[in-house]
Amino acid sequence: MTVTLDKPADRLAPGTSRRAGGRPPSPGLAPWLMSAAVAVAVLLTAANLHGVLEGWSWLFQVAVTVGAIEAATGLARRLEWPPLTGALLGLAALVMSVNAMFLAPTSFLGVIPGPDTFAALDPLLEEARDTVVSQVAPVLVNPGVALAACVGVGLIALLVDTLAVPLQMPAISGLGLLGLVSVPAMIKPNSIGAAGFLAAAAGYLLLLGCAHWLAADGSGRGRLASSEHLRRASGIAAAGLAAALVLPLAIPGFSSGLFPEGSRLNWGAPTGLNPVVSLGDNLRRPGAFGRMTYATDAQEPLYLRSVTLENLTGARWSPSPFGGNKRTGIDELDVPGVQNLLASGEVTTTLISTASFTSPWLLVPYAPAQVSGARGQWSWDPSTLNIRGESGTTTANQDYEVRSVKPRLTRDILRAAEPANNAVVDPVFSELPRNMPDIITDTAASVLDGLDSPFEQAMAIQTYLRTSGFVYSEQAPVDGGYDQSGFDVVAAFLEEKSGYCIHYAATMAIMARIAGIPSRMAVGYAPGRPTGTVLTDGPGADLKEYEIDSRDAHAWPELFFSGVGWVSFEPTPSRGVLPAYAQTETTPGSPTQPEDVLRPTNQPRPGAGAAGEQAEPNSPAPAEDDVLSRQLWSAAVAAVVLGLLLTPLLLRRRRTSRRRAALAAGGTGRRAAVAAWVEAVDVAEDLGWAAAATETPRAFQQRLDDAGVVTGESSAALSRLRAGYERAAYAAPETPAPDGHNAARWADVEAVKGRLQERAGWKRRLAGLFWPASLFSRRPSGADGRRADQDYLA
């Protein structure tokens, strides 16, 4: 390393180095100030969860949790307790505040977890999990979700606090805030937007500012350089801003806003955890991904169903609670109707290969009778035939065979169906909330006017939705939770007459319930495209293979007809396959539009690779884009991981270079001597020879000498460094500073370092490089409890 170490020492004249203004607060206030800054930063960032969680009611609970944690850590710092105690106290505050808010009845004194608390915790966690699995952002805030939010944000507050204060790395604490902000950034349809970004940034800057302010209490560090500092900082900020503005233009997938959809971390696979939101996302995505294949012996391509939504509690669709009547084992789904059909031989065999599709719900054609080959634990609900993975089982990378049955339905059979008797089906399928927007009831009344037979009513609704000027659009206004299927969204849909399958299916299901027909919404995949491959499964049976991907994500209504069972309809124009029984009878003047004509699904589509009608015309090569953006994201994440790995190394390097700078700056030999010695001690610690707090410099040097760690020249170098340090640290301030060239000092440090590295094994050297122990140990501190050397030695 060649660095001119001996600059003239005139830059920091004594007396000019005091900070001009901004006197820090009294030490008694400092711990509280820091805690308050952390709390405000975390809460400002957490406010972005609005939109992921419905409303603002949760923010109060989160604020209580964060406040309690910060009060606890602030108190610990005020009392000058060791940092670990502070963190534990914060953790205790987290547990106690959460207990007080959610689990008070089972706790001692309302705050301390009692023996029953864990039992009480279980349903809350289950509730939270179900909400995450089944609801669309913004989700309704039930106690489980609020608990999860409090615990999550609380832990992040604790992390930020620990990084910012005891570990003295306020800049790194931004990672905690980033983690927090990344959740809404990924989940919210339009990401967090400018306001949310600014709020989070303001919180972070506040944190940094407070930390900087408190650190700069005039303990001798030169502030002359502050203008230079400012210049450098603004330079970096400008470059960052420019990159943020230019990058979206360069990377495909970014289209608008500060954090548009492209910035969400997607790994190419639809997560599928949340059936409705992922559906909207999948459809809007420019490229196709998550390719799956299925092969079936059915004459017509199949709809693959993932889950049904029938629970209208909370004025939106969600799966009914999966628990009470679930059955485990899916080798045989023994529901009488299904088994009868199975016996009569109306069986379809389908081989499904899910590849990267990940969902807790198993993708099967309706109605599954036997499933074989699926790994993991699965259970199913007899009332819906939803199949769900237990204890973490998902559909990822599964290959399984489904034998399903489908009754042969004709229009005549359906026409004959009587209005359903409510006793036959679970009330959950026919419930309607009391207050519905007028537009829904009015539309339903006008569509159903004068029709009595359930089938005619259903057909009327479907026809109404497939015609009447409804336009299929995935770019329908996605703001304000339009990805949902609640009543307000259905009302908006009826007004706008623009939307996609979710809206069509939800509207039809709701209108069917108004007509008295039990209904539910099925979520899954529309039939895809044939690949042209034909598999042979056993003797004689040819299975035609189809491929489906994210663009085929679909939702459709299923209506219950007594004596027949659940029948699916297809109200969405231009998607899926209209079943024969549900086709409108062709009459002169039929309003059937050309796009209603079903896809010629039994032949390969022209231009097989091309997207369907819904593919955006402005993305010419979606598959390529997809690969590219996936690679970019992989690269970005790899860079982040690499950055995290390198952080200790860089921090340690920074410390070294600051000490070198202290030496290069010249100044009094005193500072340089201390910096050189401390660096030598830190180097030794990195390489496994830590100086104990109770060890004097001499004793430390003696130990290294005795152990033969330093010999000859390196021993003499260490001895010189030690002597210089002793003189600097313990001699009278009036005496002349220790003499010696700063360059020679640094050469001594290098000599010691070289010798130590020589002695240490490669493992030790690697550890010293990437996980420098000196970064995490605390030097003996002075009586004021602060690091004595933190200004220019840290």
Partner 1 sequence: MDTQQDMAEAGTIRSNSAGLGHSAEPGQGEGLALAEFHDACGRIRAAIETVIDGKSEAARLALTVLLAQGHLLLEDVPGVGKTMLAKTLAKTIDCSVHRIQFTPDLLPSDVTGVSIYNQDKHRFEFRPGPVFANIVIGDEINRASAKTQSALLECMEEHQVTVDGTSYPLDTPFMVIATQNPIEMEGTYPLPEAQRDRFMARISMGYPDLRAEMDMLETHQSVSPLVNVRPVVTVDEVRSMVATVRDVYVSPAVKEYTVNIGRATRDHPHLRLGASPRAMLQLLRAAKATAALNGRDFVLPDDVASVAEAVLAHRLILDRKAVTAGEDASSVVASVVAKVPVGGESRRVSP
731 in contact with partner 1 (CB under 8 A): yes
Q: Which is nearer to partner 1, 75 or 224 (CB)?
A: 224
Nearest approach, Cβ of residue 87 and partner 1 (Å): 22
Q: Which is nearer to partner 1, 580 or 693 (CB)?
A: 693
Footprint on residues 2-61 left by partner 1 (CB under 8 A): 12, 14, 17
The one segment of 250-258, 380-388, 501-509, 776-784 that binds partner 1 by CB under 8 A: 776-784
678 in contact with partner 1 (CB under 8 A): yes
Q: Which is nearer to partner 1, 488 or 695 (CB)?
A: 695
Residue 73's nearest CA partner among 154, 133, 10 is 154
Helix or strand (DSSP H, E) at 438: helix 438-448
Nearest approach, Cβ of residue 696 and partner 1 (Å): 5
Under DSSP, the state recorded for 580 is G
Which of 641, 698, 713, 766 is the binder for partner 1 (CB under 8 A)? 698
Assess contact for 304 and 524: CB atoms under 8 A: yes
Nearest approach, Cβ of residue 59 and partner 1 (Å): 44
Nearest approach, Cβ of residue 222 and partner 1 (Å): 7
Q: Which is nearer to partner 1, 262 or 666 (CB)?
A: 666
Nearest approach, Cβ of residue 679 and partner 1 (Å): 13
- Residue ranges of alpha helices (H) inside 165-192 are 174-187
735 in contact with partner 1 (CB under 8 A): yes
Q: Which two tokens stand for residue 765?
A: 């050297």
Nearest approach, Cβ of residue 48 and partner 1 (Å): 42
Nearest approach, Cβ of residue 724 and partner 1 (Å): 9
Footprint on residues 710-729 left by partner 1 (CB under 8 A): 719, 723, 726-729
Q: Annotate 35-52 with DSSP letters as a single string.
A: HHHHHHHHHHHHGGGBTT
Nearest approach, Cβ of residue 716 and partner 1 (Å): 10
Which of 132, 172, 436, 788 is the binder for partner 1 (CB under 8 A)? 788
| Secondary-structure breakdown of the chain: helix, strand, coil percentages, each rounded to the nearest 5 | 50, 10, 40
Residue 566 φ/ψ, nearest 5 degrees: -85, 130
650 in contact with partner 1 (CB under 8 A): no
79 in contact with partner 1 (CB under 8 A): no
CA atoms of 323 and 379, how far apart (whole Å): 10
Q: How many residues bind partner 1 (CB under 8 A)?
A: 41
Q: Which is nearer to partner 1, 662 or 752 (CB)?
A: 662
Site string for partner 1, 177-216 (x = CB under 8 A): ----------------------------------------
Nearest approach, Cβ of residue 675 and partner 1 (Å): 9
The one segment of 143-151, 255-263, 747-755, 786-794 that binds partner 1 by CB under 8 A: 786-794
Which of 668, 688, 754, 767 is the binder for partner 1 (CB under 8 A)? 668
Q: Which two tokens stand for residue 14?
A: 């004594």
Which of 301, 667, 768, 772 is the binder for partner 1 (CB under 8 A)? 667
Assess contact for 162 and 87: CB atoms under 8 A: yes
696 in contact with partner 1 (CB under 8 A): yes
CA atoms of 108 and 741, how far apart (whole Å): 66
- Residues 6 or more apart from 627 whose CB is under 8 A from it? none
Assess contact for 379 and 326: CB atoms under 8 A: yes
671 in contact with partner 1 (CB under 8 A): yes
Helix 669-686 / helix 742-759 crossing angle, nearest 10 deg? 10
CA atoms of 475 and 280, how far apart (whole Å): 10
Q: Which two tokens stand for residue 426?
A: 């679970």
Nearest approach, Cβ of residue 63 and partner 1 (Å): 40
Q: Which is nearer to partner 1, 251 or 729 (CB)?
A: 729
Nearest approach, Cβ of residue 224 and partner 1 (Å): 11
CA atoms of 524 and 365, how far apart (whole Å): 9
Q: Which is nearer to partner 1, 203 or 697 (CB)?
A: 697
Assess contact for 349 and 543: CB atoms under 8 A: yes
Q: Which is nearer to partner 1, 651 or 716 (CB)?
A: 716
220 in contact with partner 1 (CB under 8 A): yes
Q: Which is nearer to partner 1, 521 or 718 (CB)?
A: 718
Which of 589, 606, 733, 785 is the binder for partner 1 (CB under 8 A)? 733
Nearest approach, Cβ of residue 86 and partner 1 (Å): 20
224 in contact with partner 1 (CB under 8 A): no
Residue 143 φ/ψ, nearest 5 degrees: -55, -35
Which of 329, 433, 643, 782 is the binder for partner 1 (CB under 8 A)? 782
Give the position of tokens 């219950």. Answer: 560
518 CB-contact burial (10 Å; exposed 0-12 / middle 13-18 / buried 19+): buried
736 in contact with partner 1 (CB under 8 A): yes
- Number of neighbours of residue 740 by Cβ within 10 angstroms: 18
Q: Annotate 515-552 with DSSP letters as a single string.
A: HT--EEEEEEE---EEEEEEEEETTTEEEEEEEE-GGG
777 in contact with partner 1 (CB under 8 A): no
Which of 300, 332, 695, 705 is the binder for partner 1 (CB under 8 A)? 695
Longest dimension (CA), the chain: 111
Q: Which two tokens stand for residue 705?
A: 């000498």
Nearest approach, Cβ of residue 701 and partner 1 (Å): 11
Nearest approach, Cβ of residue 673 and partner 1 (Å): 9
Nearest approach, Cβ of residue 785 and partner 1 (Å): 12
State how far the alpha carbon of 58 is from the alpha carbons of 21, 143, 732, in Å. Answer: 40, 9, 60
Assess contact for 525 and 363: CB atoms under 8 A: yes
238 in contact with partner 1 (CB under 8 A): no
Q: Which is nearer to partner 1, 129 or 703 (CB)?
A: 703
Under DSSP, the state recorded for 112 is B
Q: Which two tokens stand for residue 309?
A: 């939504």
408 CB-contact burial (10 Å; exposed 0-12 / middle 13-18 / buried 19+): exposed
CA atoms of 176 and 178, how far apart (whole Å): 5
> H/E/C letters for each residue in 471-511?
EECCCCCCHHHCCCCCHHHHHHHHHHCEECHHHHHHHHHHH
CA atoms of 200 and 207, how far apart (whole Å): 11
Which of 739, 762, 763, 785 is the binder for partner 1 (CB under 8 A)? 739
82 in contact with partner 1 (CB under 8 A): no
Return the bridge partners of 388, or none: 361, 379
Nearest approach, Cβ of residue 732 and partner 1 (Å): 4
Q: Which residues bind partner 1 (CB under 8 A)?
A: 12, 14, 17, 220, 222, 667-668, 670-671, 674, 678, 693-699, 719, 723, 726-736, 738-739, 779-783, 788-789, 793
